[in-house]
Amino acid sequence: MGCRQGLQGYCVPMPETSPRAHRPPTRVVDLGRPTRGDDTPVNPPITVSSTYVGTGEVASGARAYGRYSNPTWDPFEDALARLEGADVPALLYGSGLAAIASALDLVALGGTVVMPAHTYQGALLGAQETARTGRFNLVTVDIADTQEVIAAMRTAVEDTASLTHERPVLLWIESPTNPMLEVADLPTLIEAAKASGAFVVVDNTFATPLLQRPLETGADVVVHSVTKYLAGHSDVILGACVPADAPIREALLHHRSIQGAIAGPFEAWLGLRGLRTLALRVERSGDNAMVLARRLEGHPAVRVIRYPGLRNDPGHERAAAQMDGFGAIISIDVGSAAAADRVVDQCRLWTPATSLGGVESLVERRRRHTAEPATVPDGLIRLSVGIEDVEDLWDDIRAALDVLEA
Ligand SMILES: *Cc1c(COP(=O)(O)O)cnc(C)c1O
């Protein structure tokens, strides 16, 4: 990855400034820096140009034009790939959903996509709408039920046996899922997918590469809503695909160049800037989430709590085995939409807003989105735990929940 020549047809000197031996908290700070020299900047510049000088034949992936490439993307794409353990650069997109649409488009015409019933609602909605056009078949599964997923995948492989296109079956995994926090058995599902010839994409938004690296387990593509933890400050919409190898990257790059769902240079730069503090933010928000989850578990207004860090959570053992931490999203069910709305209304420090993964704590009743599946409880509140002082967060959410007991 030191130089992109051959892969993309142009060369960006990207020295291995951060040896693999360095630990992730070092690498998020050190990756994607410009080559050192006297008076060189420590940060990469923002390149604002829609076109590039040239007269030669424009091959696939050439710099050439601002929809194909921008030097501002390169250091972030390089850093993200290395953090996920990929051998080729990642690809930035204008949003997480643009990256997801591009990854979904890898499945063969007439193929089958097997997807968690509780995957991020935007991804599910997009897949459902595409499936209705006949582009592919969509099968939804309980991603925590390993046998059900494997059975669905096997059936899909048999059903698509006559297809000659590449990638007839795409297994879509999200773990932990948004907002139900179900945990998939990643090693088992990925191994089963490989054995049956299915292609695997993992949405790694909740975990980030600091807590989970699905490519190392054999996944073909990792997708991110960079908007969330990677950028981390609720000030940018950005997405990424992290392909495992060059042919998949080539297919995604072609799609991105043609469809045009590219990132703006300033947004890409903000994403890399946010990445610098990822390790600190993931650690602090994860510690906060663990403290809050233990206390919320004992609050009388909380009927059900899901947080993989809790010992008796259904996903705990899997998460402990395959993740390096449990993340900072908690969901609680307070029984009804009215009760959940009252809790959210009472919050003063927690901000009532959708999204997650920023430095500030957010709280939201998920079913306020009418597209959220009806199997997500009406009274489910998703908590995105930030990096504030945990006692202030607790005082605020406890007071809000206490109102239901009064
Ligand atoms: C937010 C989110 C997305 C969508 O990303 P955008 O950047 O909002 O387009 C996809 N997957 C998950 C898990 C998310 O939380």
3-state secondary structure at position 51: strand
Q: Rounded CA gap, 139 and 70, in Å?
A: 37
pTM: 0.95
Which of 118, 228, 366 is the pocket-test mutation for ligand 1 (most atoms within 8 Å of CB)?
228
* The pLDDT of residue 4: 44
Q: Rounded CA gap, 31 and 296, in Å?
A: 38
* The pLDDT of residue 18: 62
- Residue 314: CB atoms within 10 A of its CB come to 14
Residues sharing a CB contact under 8 Å with residue 18, sequence separation 6 or more, in sequence order = 26, 27, 30, 31, 82
The rounded mean pLDDT for the chain is 94
Please state the φ and ψ torsions of residue 250, each to the nearest 5 degrees: -60, -45
* The pLDDT of residue 59: 79
Q: At what angle do helices 73-84 and 265-275 cross, to 10 degrees?
A: 40
Smallest CA-to-CA distance from 345 within 297, 384, 381, 307 is with: 381
* The pLDDT of residue 15: 54
Q: What is the dihedral of CA 164, 165, 169, 175, to 10 degrees?
A: 160
Q: Rounded CA gap, 68 and 97, in Å?
A: 19
Among protein residues, the one whose CA lies closest to atom 6 of ligand 1 = 96
Q: Is 203 a catalytic residue?
A: yes
Q: Rounded CA gap, 309 and 289, in Å?
A: 9
* The pLDDT of residue 1: 40
Smallest CA-to-CA distance from 344 within 292, 399, 294 is with: 399
Smallest CA-to-CA distance from 356 within 331, 393, 332, 338 is with: 331
Q: Are strands 112-116 and 137-141 parallel, antiparallel or unpaired?
A: parallel
* The pLDDT of residue 61: 67
3-state secondary structure at position 103: helix
Share of the chain above pLDDT 70, in %: 95
* The pLDDT of residue 151: 98
Q: CB within 6 Å of ligand 1 — which residues? A: 95-97, 120, 122-123, 174, 178, 203, 205-206, 225, 227-228, 237, 239
Q: Is 194 a catalytic residue?
A: no
Q: Is 67 a catalytic residue?
A: yes
* The pLDDT of residue 8: 39
Question: What would the two tokens of residue 125 be?
Answer: 């909605």
pLDDT mean values, one per 10 residues, the chain (406 residues): 38 55 93 92 95 88 89 96 95 98 98 97 97 98 98 96 94 97 98 96 98 98 98 98 96 95 98 98 98 98 98 98 98 98 98 98 96 94 98 98 93
Please state the φ and ψ torsions of residue 293, each to the nearest 5 degrees: -60, -45
Q: Is 68 a catalytic residue?
A: no
Q: Which of 82, 228, 284, 318 is catalytic?
A: 228
- Dist. CA 138 → ligand 1 center (Å): 20
